[in-house]
Chains A and B, each alone.
Chain A
Amino acid sequence: MTAGTLAAEGFRPARIALVGPPNSGKTTLFNTLTGGRQKTANYPGVTVERKSGLLKTPGGHPVEVLDLPGSYSLRARSPDEAITRDVVLGRQARETLPDALVCVTDATNLGQHLRLLLELRQLGRPLILVLNMMDIAQKRGCQISTEALSRQLGIPVVTTVAMRKHGVRDLLGQIDALLNQAPAGDGVTAISDWVEPSPDAIRAHHREVERLLQEAVVREGAPEHLTRQLDRVLLHPVAGPLILLALLFLMFQAVFSWAEAPMDWIDGGMAGLQQWLSAHMEESLLKSLLVDGIVAGVGGVVIFLPQILILFLFILLLEDSGYMTRAAFLMDRLMSAVGLNGRAFIPLLSSFACAIPGIMAARTIAHPLDRLVTILIAPLMTCSARLPVYVLLIAAFVPATTVWGGIGLQGLVMFGLYATGIVGALAVAGVLRLTLLRGDRQPLLMELPSYKWPNPANVLLGLWERAKIFMRRIGTIILSVLVILWFLSTFPAAPEGATEPAIYYSFAGLIGRTLEPLLAPIGFNWQIAIALVPGLAAREVAVAALGTVYALSGDEGAVTEALTTTLAQSWTLATALSLLAWYVFAPQCLATLAAVRRETNSWRWAAFMFVYLMTLAYLAAFVTYRVALALGGG
């Protein structure tokens, strides 16, 4: 029985895996093939995304297309590449061996990309070679005889222009042909005789590729010029770093200025919802849970969605255009000084929006130790959840004056907080690399792809994925934590004739008051201690919690405004500075800890991160408080 008939009889769709080196346009081809009918899930045990999509071929075969992580070789060097190897070999748990493989290569870089095809051909599975980006190759005057290549390799060869659906019909036709003849129930469930290619085997493949190209390439294309010219500027020893710095500056400016309007809308919407609920519901526990617990809490987190999306828009544009690897190139020497890889730059940059996607982006780092260090320092990058706290305290305690001829003092303090996080992260990385996570320096070996215009569909799909991840996190972890925290801060209710706000008598109050002696040396009063209990789940919740503790009411904007005045009156400068220092380091985000556990597959590293960040936070707050007191900030 063939895969085709199997599928036609409704047993299961045929499974086709897309394999290809990075920068071969594989994902664009996948998007064109499957359109919106994609499904993203995780492979069990790891958080490598499993991207698949269903389609029907012209011949009527239902096909599940699997987009495997880009890989230069089946000799996997990173967790991503290991998934590609394991799926292709039928070793991946809960994943059957694909019925056919489609090897996607960049037609302008066949000399490098055909080597992976040779590795795949050795597996003896049904295989189709795709020469992608054929338009660019032709524009450079390159002519390739697909017939000769097909004859030499003994497999079908298709040319495509992934971005314009061009050649996709040919590819689907070849898949049809393959499914009509390839036996699916051939009994092969895994390939057991595969061995990692030795250096000499790789050399032999290179020679074979050269021979193939001599047979198939009718005319070589001219090398690309634009990338060379651009790199002359963008990788220039002086201009390069300056341009990178300017780009980052622009990016953060955009994150804060463009996000302002949508954040106001969300804020207004949530406040409206709260008012509507307050007006239309009976006074009850359920109302309290909905209004104070869920809407206020969810609103406090959803409000960061615009900032996160804008930051990711920049990151995806830079990544898709090919600039991100240049940034990694420029930063590598600086980062290798503390034992990090240049590639860590991308995850750390993402962490400025939110540490969770940053931690997930660390998957592209091949070496486990490099990857672990990157994950462990990612939460030190100032994520957008810290901002409400920073803004509140700076507004209350730092005068809005200018220093050194026109630089705003408030902005300067904000910059200082960002810088402290970065310097702290680099120091921690250096210390970890010298102590716990000692190991050889890992090679960089990174392709600098040709520049190209970002593909809008890819960027939009990428943004949609980030938004989904973020919203899912709100729907699961944050929501359940909010319910628990609401419970902790509502029960038991305040006794008759209570003089303090109700939260003082609740479990949260009890925990806060128990912690108070421990927090007194760093200048925290019982109000802060109580606010830190809900703030442990998500940093930004602390602002709302402070509002509750100081018994302020009204919508969020009014609370923040009133808080600014209240705090300025009731706290000392030393206490405020100490809390700011605490916030730079403290691991107050359960979702991040959960992400670390998932990515490292152990609670041990999540626990380690929690302890080391807590210790740093305490020390930083202690030193800040004592120094500020000594300088008269009491």
Chain B
Amino acid sequence: MDGHGGRERQLFELGRLVKAGLTQPLGLMRPGGVGRILAVRSGEGDVERGLLEMGFVEGACVEVLHHGFLGRDPLAVRINQAMTVALRRGEANAVLVGPLLNRATDVEPTTDQESRPS
């Protein structure tokens, strides 16, 4: 993630995951869908910064909770089980989400009661 080489390697990894069908933009996920953010990238710098400031950062767990009633837009997304953010599909598509790879600190977002060991 740090440095130029790291980012290229990461992009390469992302490409592989996309081909394997394991990653998708946040905007395509359905309510109930969970995953881990792999990349936050937008053509416009301000959208990227806005997303980062609201907690959409690489490594964060996301869970799509709700869709709007018209055109299934906007989305309500829970980040790291702590904060819920509403955003439109357009912006959500700047967030690339992969599977919850089994990191030791992972939570199963479907079973809320479990506390996160640290």
- Chain A interfacial positions (CB closer than 8 Å to B): 72-73, 75, 77, 108-109, 111-112, 115, 141, 197-199, 202-203, 206, 210, 213-214, 217, 219-223, 225, 227-228, 231, 235-238, 240-241, 325, 328-330, 332-334, 336, 342, 441, 443-449
Contact = CB atoms under 8 A, between A and B. Distances in A.
B1 A443 contact: no
A443 B118 contact: no
A333 B69 CA distance: 8
Interface string B71-102: 10110100111111111101100000000000
A445 B85 contact: yes
Given A141-B115, A228-B65, A443-B88, 12 more contacts: A112-B54, A202-B49, A202-B53, A219-B118, A222-B112, A227-B84, A231-B76, A240-B69, A329-B76, A443-B50, A443-B90, A445-B86
Nearest to A204: B2
Contacts of A336: 88
Would you call the interface of chain B mostly helix, strand, loop, or mixed?
Answer: mixed
Interface in B3-62: 40, 45, 47-55, 57-60
Contact of B52 (A108, A203, A328, A444): A203
Contacts of B84: 227, 231, 447-449
Contacts of A445: 50-51, 54, 85-87, 91
A448 B49 contact: no
A109 B85 contact: no
A449 B78 CA distance: 11
Contacts of B90: 441, 443
Closest 3 CB pairs of A and B: A237-B69, A333-B70, A448-B84
A75 B52 contact: no
18 contacts: A77-B50, A111-B55, A202-B52, A203-B57, A203-B58, A227-B84, A231-B66, A237-B69, A240-B69, A329-B68, A332-B74, A443-B47, A443-B90, A444-B86, A445-B86, A446-B85, A446-B86, A448-B86
Contact of B88 (A72, A203, A332): A332
A112 B80 CA distance: 10
Nearest to A213: B118
A159 B104 CA distance: 30
Given A202-B53, A222-B113, A444 B91 contact: yes
A210 B117 CA distance: 13
| Most B-side CB within 10 Å, residue of A109, A141, A213, A225 | A109
Nearest to B45: A199
B10 to A, nearest CB: 12
Contacts of B60: 206
B71 A333 contact: yes
Contacts of A217: 118
Contacts of B51: 445
B57 A332 contact: no
Contact of B69 (A77, A141, A330): A330
| Most B-side CB within 10 Å, residue of A210, A223, A443 | A443
Nearest to A216: B118
B103 interface: no
Given A202-B52, A225-B112, A325-B86, A443 B76 contact: no
A198 B118 CA distance: 29
B118 A444 contact: no
Nearest to B60: A206
B23 to A, nearest CB: 19
Contact of A444 (B65, B70, B82, B88): B88
Given A332-B74, A444-B91, A445-B91, A237 B45 contact: no
| Most B-side CB within 10 Å, residue of A342, A448, A449 | A448
A112 B81 CA distance: 11
A202 B46 CA distance: 12
A73 B51 CA distance: 12
